[in-house]
A = this chain, B = another copy of it.
Amino acid sequence: MSSNRRFLLVKRPNGDPRPDDFKLVSTPIPEPDKGSFVIRNHYISLDPAQRGWMDDAPSYLPPIPLGDAVRATTVGRVHSSANPDFTPGDWVVGLNAVEDYSVVAPGGFTNRIDISHVPSPSYFLSAMGAVGLTAYFGLLDKAKPQSGETVLVSGAAGAVGSMVGQIAKIKGCRTVGIAGGAAKCKRLIIDYRYDVAIDYQGKTMEALAAAIAKAAPDGVNIIFENVGGDILDAGLMSLAPSARIVLCGLIGEYNSAHGKVGARNIWQLIVKRATMHGFLISDYVSRFAEGATQIGQWISQGQLRIDEHIVDGIENAYPAFMMLFSGKNAGKLILKIT
């Protein structure tokens, strides 16, 4: 690799991102300034959160500047370093961008990782990364599931949802997963041990609410919400008293250019004295090691199945990213660049 290919955001998407919102360019490989270092990226995480960063709207991170590479969590190796704490060859994970080489300024959010105990360095973007830790802390710390409770997960076959369902089973809960299509629903049962799988495709909000009510006759104690819109509205109709809702993502709403569906059934929060918690994994940085250790144990004990969907080549960044919204990926979506 003699140049640095960079996947730039050149226009702010209106609704669904389009190919001409982005531009792949080749630039010289950067050199580290004093205190900084340069990473050669190998695995790039593609996540729904990136869609939010593309909008010019108030969020927990500033919008991606137009003309800059699309912000992403990456795993790679230190290529060159002017930082005494990082040596060429070190494996690291950090918030960088969709590009071959990233410069990490002094104080940047990048950590060295030990890849000797994982099947692939990409696990630091899935099981041990933000995805796995989101499932772990979002479910266990925010919703505090008790054995015997019913947990409803939307986006249940997705990277986060598939782990939430499995962790809920480990904790003795009954799990109901919502996903799109028969193939995914089959995976919910076989791969992720959900007790009930509900296919949302072709269902009105009312029909989906009826399916959830049937699957959870005593009500849903916990909703782990990744989708929003009709799917959240349907779940709200089956809350058990004192239910907890972890609002992790709203992928069904992110690309809406014509107004969001919104949550029209939040009156059920009053009726059931339920609580909805907005969740962001960045609040748990100080506990990442605790979560990653437990997740690693469950994997090694065969209790937790991790699926990754690896797409090769930075030139496929756009179609790969769009799989998140069509739901075509099977497992944590990762772009591999070599």
Query: Hey, which bits of chain A sit against chain B, CB under 8 A?
Result: 52, 58-60, 228, 233, 237, 247-250, 253, 259-280, 283
Contact = CB atoms under 8 A, between A and B. Distances in A.
A228 B60 CA distance: 24
Contacts of A277: 269, 273, 275
A334 to B, nearest CB: 23
Nearest to A254: B267
Interface secondary structure of A, over-half rule: loop
A283 B278 contact: no
A52 B271 CA distance: 10
Nearest to A49: B270
Contacts of A268: 58, 278
Contacts of A263: 262-264, 266
5 smallest A-B Cβ distances: which pairs?
A262-B262, A269-B278, A262-B264, A260-B264, A270-B278
A272 B274 CA distance: 19
Contacts of A279: 270, 273
A227 to B, nearest CB: 12
B278 A59 contact: no
Contact of A278 (B247, B250, B264, B271): B271
A271 B58 contact: yes
26 contacts: A52-B267, A58-B237, A59-B271, A60-B271, A60-B272, A233-B262, A247-B266, A248-B270, A249-B270, A250-B270, A253-B264, A253-B267, A260-B265, A262-B264, A262-B266, A263-B264, A266-B278, A269-B276, A269-B277, A270-B279, A271-B278, A271-B280, A273-B277, A275-B276, A275-B277, A275-B278
